[in-house]
């Protein structure tokens, strides 16, 4: 069984640029969530996708957007990058119908540095 | 959203039992308690989840008193590889993860 994978591992961008991060969910999972983790902090929920639709969003501006594809892979897009966007971006997959479970499977993350 | 409070850090030695307590005074009736572990430069990993009393798996035990206003994650006989950050999350199950908030966690350091 393949776990959650993310690409790229590291990325350096400059302020104002746009970035796309990619995630491949664990086999059989139909829900993906994206998190931002600043240094020394816990992960912060950005949004969640289920069946290609966003169905939950944290306190992040619209320049953070996402996509989920029929094969349950997903993308996180960030426009107009700001210095504070520098962080580890994590995706996590889970099965929507996993009864009474808050178990998510996280990928290793993409380290984004904005200069 | 249920607010959680955990110690910022804890120290232990190999072979000891470690208990990390999480306070969640405003837990709701339909909330579960979930713990995650995170190693440096890796994504968090689910450890255990419970609703009441005691839950045990191959990795840890979770103790929840009757009033559910706190919970204790117990790691038996820790090793150096248990050095990590441990997060306590409180929220409903399977309703979307936006209601599960990762705080700053408890940084556990296990020494030889």
What mean pLDDT is predicted for residues A70-77? 92
Please report, in tens digits, the pLDDT of each residue of chain B (112 residues total): 678 999 999 999 999 999 999 999 999 998 999 999 999 889 999 999 999 999 999 999 999 999 999 999 999 999 999 999 999 999 888 667 777 888 889 999 999 9
Task: Select from B44, B98, B104 the Cβ nearest to the Cβ of A56.
Answer: B98
Query: What's the number of CA atoms in the CB half-sphere (13 Å) around residue B51?
Result: 9
Q: Which of B43, B94, B98 lies nearest to residue A109, judging by beta carbons?
A: B43
**Edge-to-edge strand list for the sheet holding A64-68:** A5-7, A19-24, A74-78, A64-68
Q: Give A20-46 as a DSSP string.
A: EEEEEPPTT--EEEEEEE-TTS--EEE
State residue A97's pLDDT score. 61
Query: What is the pairing mode between strands B9-13 and B61-64?
Result: unpaired
pLDDT at A1 over 70: no
Residue B109: the pLDDT is 98
- Comparing alpha-carbon positions, the chain B residue that sits nearest to A44 is B102
pLDDT confidence tier of residue A28, bands split at 50, 70 and 90:
confident
Please answer yes or no on whether A48 and B49 come within 8 Å at the CB atom: no
Q: Please tell me the distance from the alpha carbon of residue B43 to that of residue A3, in angstroms, as a whole number.
A: 12
* Rounded Cα–Cα distance for residues B10 and B83 (Å): 10
Tell whether the model's pLDDT for residue A72 goes beyond 60: yes
H or E segment at A91? strand A87-94
Name, in order, each residue with C-beta under 8 angstroms of B106's C-beta and a sequence gap of 6 or more.
B6, B7, B8, B9, B10, B20, B85, B86, B87, B88
Q: Left (φ > 0), alpha (ψ -120 to 50) or beta: where does B95 sit?
A: alpha
- The pLDDT value recorded for residue B92 is 86
CA distance A62 to A44: 16
Give the span between the Cα atoms of B64 and B34, in whole angstroms.
Answer: 11
Is A110 touching B (CB cutoff 8 A)?
A: no
Residue B41 corresponds to which tokens in the numbers above?
């430069």
- Candidate from B34, B43, B87 with C-beta closest to A42: B87
Asked whether the beta carbons of residue B97 and residue A33 sit closer than 8 angstroms, the reply is yes
What is the predicted pLDDT for the residue at B103? 85
> Distance (Å) from the C-alpha of residue B91 to the closest C-alpha of chain A?
9
């Amino acid at each position: 069984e393949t776990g959650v994978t993310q690409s790229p591992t590291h990325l350096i961008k400059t302020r104002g640029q746009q970035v796309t991060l990619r995630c491949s969910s664990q086999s059989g999972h139909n829900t993906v969530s994206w998190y931002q983790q600043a240094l020394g902090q816990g992960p912060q929920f950005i949004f969640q996708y289920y069946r290609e639709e966003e169905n939950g969003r944290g306190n992040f501006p619209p320049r953070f957007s996402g996509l989920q594809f029929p094969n349950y892979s997903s993308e996180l897009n960030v426009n107009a990058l700001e210095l504070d966007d520098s962080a580890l971006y994590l995706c996590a997959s889970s099965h929507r119908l996993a009864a009474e479970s808050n178990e998510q499977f996280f990928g290793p993350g993409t380290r984004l540095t904005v200069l | 959203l249920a607010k959680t409070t955990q110690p910022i850090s804890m120290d232990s030695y190999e072979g000891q039992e470690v208990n990390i307590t999480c306070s969640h005074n405003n837990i709701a009736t339909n909330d579960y308690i979930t713990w995650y572990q995170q190693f440096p430069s890796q994504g968090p990993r689910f450890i255990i989840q419970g609703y009441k009393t005691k839950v045990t798996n191959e990795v840890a035990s979770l103790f929840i008193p009757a009033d559910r206003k706190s919970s204790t994650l117990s790691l038996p006989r820790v090793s150096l590889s248990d050095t990590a950050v441990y997060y306590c999350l409180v929220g409903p199950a399977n309703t979307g993860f936006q209601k599960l908030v990762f705080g700053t966690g408890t940084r556990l350091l296990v020494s030889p």
